[in-house]
């Protein structure tokens, strides 16, 4: 029964790049080298031979009908999914909990012991492999970066390449780097967060296969991922490849540049049922999954199938439903769960968790158990927003002319006021402005009269409505409600205040004595 491959998800470790410890102004760190470009091209050629070329009939991707354009040399092919570095492949990136666990691993007793025992070995290479690197960095704490620096020198520096026992020294550096990489990406501290990159990549495998099944083999035929070694080593641990007695030796070491791991979704066709182009898409229980891996880009190392999850060599091919069940035990399918597990302070995590806490049911994936992200950040943001709103409101009131006036301390409680205008008390003998004569009361004349029983009453004169009116010449109205004839005795002999101010407005152009259309009463004046 020949197999028909319906879909494939491929993860490729990128080719050689300039090492981070390479301190030059002309060569940027982590840029693809010519050797790295050749390694990547070699990996792509292998995929084309396996999945696209017509000669690869036993593993060629099919659609039930011939795939239109898949075998054509088109750069833009809608049936291929090529994911960028912005996609959530490496779950360890920007994962705060992962960084904390990594630092804890570096200071663990085992790591500290290795730093001490390997110190002399690293220092002995200071004049050869590590020329130009400060001696304080030559220790096991930088085992991974030092290995890639030595590998770069071995590949591009002829004096290092021709050095006696160069390959043996490089192999020792490779062993130390692999030990450190394995401790960083497996639960060495008792926390599963160190394998988070493998958990996130596992969810991508399921999603891509589900898309193929939902479309009956039409979409997501070939999905290509490119990244670093972390997702690979984490998945090797989660799938028991690095812990199994059958595969542990190979998968517990750092993969070489250009290495590939692929997951193939396929089914079997009975003999005589026709070719792949006429085979309908099978049911889910008839689908199988195979894992293949190639370490490096050597032509002598082909893609080899390996059993997953501790199975034996006779179970290299496993049913799709069983494969999904195994991945589902550790895959992180929900972005909000990744935010919780990583305790990430990324802005998109704050938005996602905020919507979730407010009852929003907009979710990207499924949920995973974990503790929530610290709410200190959201509390600080809320306090800052509140403070800004208050400040803007106060500034708005200030622009409108509002001012605050503190009450006078020597006034009784009944007369204290926070307002701009202060009204007098009727019980204190005053009216609107109180009993005192203010600087603005130019129209008030106070006439004093002796007598213990004298009562002060306020009157204003100077306009026809008051003392200058015709009626005012004959009599005067008292503020206490009584009337008295002008020029007679009685209450007219008591103290009173007369207003003589002229309330009319002078002409602003100097023509005429009065301007009925003059400027109105200003805010600083008192009426």
- 268: which strand partners? 3
184, 213, 244 - which closes a domain: 184
Task: Write 351-356 long-range contacts (CB < 8 A, 24+).
Answer: 354/378
Q: Is residue 247 part of a domain?
A: yes
57 and 105 housed in the same domain = no
209 and 298 housed in the same domain = yes
176 and 220 housed in the same domain = no
Query: For residues 35 and 156, what is the distance between their CA atoms, to the nearest angstrom?
Result: 9
Query: Please, what is the angle between helix 109-124 and helix 166-184, to 10°?
Result: 160
160 and 241 housed in the same domain = no
8 and 134 housed in the same domain = no
266, 297, 328 - which closes a domain: 328
208 and 73 housed in the same domain = yes
**Residue 516: what are its φ and ψ, rounded to 5°?**
-65, -15
Query: For residues 366 and 364, what is the distance between their CA atoms, to the nearest angstrom?
Result: 7
142 and 272 housed in the same domain = no
85 and 108 housed in the same domain = no
165 and 221 housed in the same domain = no
Rg of the chain (C-alpha set): 44
Nearest of 268, 391, 390 to residue 319 by alpha carbon: 268
Cβ within 8 Å of residue 507, ≥6 positions away = 513, 514, 515, 518
45 and 141 housed in the same domain = no
Q: Is residue 420 part of a domain?
A: no
Query: How far lies 28's CA from each of 18, 194, 329, in Å?
Result: 7, 29, 40
Instruction: Write out the two tokens for 452.
Output: 């213990």
Q: Is residue 372 part of a domain?
A: no
Which pLDDT score, from 0 to 100, does residue 371 have? 37
Q: Is residue 356 part of a domain?
A: no
The number of C-alpha atoms within 13 Å of 296 and in the hemisphere containing its C-beta is 6
Q: Is residue 85 part of a domain?
A: yes
**Residue 493: what are its φ and ψ, rounded to 5°?**
-80, -10
Q: Is residue 264 part of a domain?
A: yes
Cβ within 8 Å of residue 285, ≥6 positions away = 319, 320, 321
442 and 490 housed in the same domain = yes
Nearest of 324, 308, 328 to residue 239 by alpha carbon: 308
- Concatenating the DSSP letter of every residue in 182-250 gives HHHTTTTTS-GGGGHHHHHHHHHHHHHHHHHHHTTTSS--EEEEEE-SHHHHHHHHHTTTTTSTTTHHH
184, 215, 242 - which closes a domain: 184
In the 3-class helix/strand/coil scheme, how is 285-346 assigned residue by residue? Answer: HHCEEEEEEECCCCCCCCCEECCCCCCCHHHCCEEHHHHHHHHHCCCCCCHHHHHHHHCCCC
CA angle 418, 419, 420 (to 5 degrees): 130
Cβ within 8 Å of residue 320, ≥6 positions away = 209, 265, 284, 285, 287, 288, 289
Which pLDDT score, from 0 to 100, does residue 453 have? 47
Q: Is residue 259 part of a domain?
A: yes
Yes or no: say if 181 and 144 are a contact pair by the CB < 8 Å rule. yes
Strand-strand pairing, 304-305 and 318-319? unpaired
Domains of the chain: total: 3
For residue 15, what is the domain's CATH number?
3.40.50.1240
Q: Is residue 19 part of a domain?
A: yes
Instruction: Write out the two tokens for 194.
Output: 């160190």
Strand-strand pairing, 80-82 and 260-268? unpaired
201 and 307 housed in the same domain = yes
In tens digits, what is the pLDDT along the chain, a chain of 527 residues? 677 888 899 999 999 999 988 765 555 667 889 999 999 999 988 888 888 765 545 555 554 333 334 555 555 555 565 655 555 577 888 888 889 999 999 999 999 999 999 999 999 999 999 988 888 999 999 999 999 999 999 999 999 999 888 999 999 999 999 999 999 999 876 678 999 999 999 999 999 999 989 988 888 888 899 999 999 999 999 999 999 888 888 999 999 999 999 999 998 877 666 555 677 888 999 999 999 999 988 877 888 999 999 888 888 999 999 999 999 999 888 887 888 888 877 666 777 666 655 554 444 444 433 333 444 445 556 667 787 778 887 787 777 766 666 555 555 555 555 444 444 444 444 444 555 556 555 555 555 555 544 444 555 555 444 444 444 444 544 444 444 444 444 444 445 555 555 555 555 555 555 555 555 555 554 44
Give the range of the structural domain holding residue 316, as residue numbers without chain letter: 3-92+193-328
């Amino acid at each position: 029964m020949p197999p028909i491959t319906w879909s494939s998800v491929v993860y490729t470790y990128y080719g050689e790049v300039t090492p981070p410890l390479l301190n030059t102004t002309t060569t940027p760190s982590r840029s693809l080298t010519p050797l790295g470009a050749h390694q990547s091209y070699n990996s792509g050629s292998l995929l084309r031979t396996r999945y696209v070329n017509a000669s690869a009939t036993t593993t060629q991707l099919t659609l039930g009908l011939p795939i239109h354009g898949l075998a054509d040399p088109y750069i833009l092919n809608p049936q291929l999914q090529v994911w960028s570095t912005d996609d959530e492949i490496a779950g360890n990136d920007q994962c705060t909990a992962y960084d904390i666990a990594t630092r804890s691993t570096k200071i663990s007793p085992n790591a500290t012991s290795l730093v001490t025992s390997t110190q002399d070995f690293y220092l002995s290479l200071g004049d050869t492999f590590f020329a130009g690197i400060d001696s304080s960095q030559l220790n096991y704490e930088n085992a991974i970066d030092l290995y890639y620096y030595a590998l770069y020198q071995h590949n591009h520096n002829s004096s290092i390449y021709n050095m006696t026992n160069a390959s043996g020294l490089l192999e020792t550096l490779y062993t130390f780097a692999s030990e450190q990489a394995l401790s960083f990406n497996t639960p060495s501290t008792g926390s599963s967060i160190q394998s988070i990159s493998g958990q996130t990549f596992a969810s991508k495998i399921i999603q891509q296969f589900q898309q193929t099944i939902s479309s009956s083999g039409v979409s997501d035929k070939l999905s290509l991922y490119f990244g670093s070694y972390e997702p690979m080593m984490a998945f090797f641990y989660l799938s028991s490849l690095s812990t199994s007695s059958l595969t542990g030796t190979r998968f517990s070491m750092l993969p070489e540049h250009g290495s590939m791991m692929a997951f193939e979704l396929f089914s079997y066709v009975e003999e005589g049922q026709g070719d792949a182009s006429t085979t309908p898409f099978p049911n889910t229980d008839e689908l199988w999954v195979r894992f293949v891996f190639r370490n490096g880009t050597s032509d002598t190392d082909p893609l080899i199938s390996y059993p997953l999850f501790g199975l034996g060599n006779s179970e290299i091919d496993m049913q799709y439903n069983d494969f999904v069940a195994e991945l589902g035990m550790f895959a992180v399918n929900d972005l909000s769960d990744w935010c919780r597990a990583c305790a990430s302070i990324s802005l998109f995590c704050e938005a996602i968790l905020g919507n979730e806490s407010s009852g929003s049911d907009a979710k990207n994936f499924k949920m995973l158990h974990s503790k929530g992200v610290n709410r200190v950040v959201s509390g600080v943001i809320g306090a800052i927003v509140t403070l800004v709103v208050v400040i803007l409101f106060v500034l708005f009131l200030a622009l409108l002319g509002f001012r605050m006036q503190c009450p006078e301390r020597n006034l009784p409680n009944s007369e204290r006021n926070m307002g701009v205008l202060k009204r007098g008390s009727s019980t204190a003998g005053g009216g609107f402005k109180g009993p005192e004569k203010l600087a603005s009361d130019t129209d008030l004349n106070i006439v004093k009269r002796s007598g213990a029983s004298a009562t002060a009453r306020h009157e204003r004169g100077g306009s026809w409505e008051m003392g200058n009116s015709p009626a005012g010449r004959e009599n005067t109205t008292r503020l206490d409600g009584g009337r008295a004839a002008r020029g007679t005795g009685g209450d007219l002999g008591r103290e009173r205040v007369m207003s003589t101010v002229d309330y009319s407005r002078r002409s602003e152009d100097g023509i005429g004595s009065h301007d009925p259309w003059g400027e109105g009463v200003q805010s600083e004046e008192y009426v």
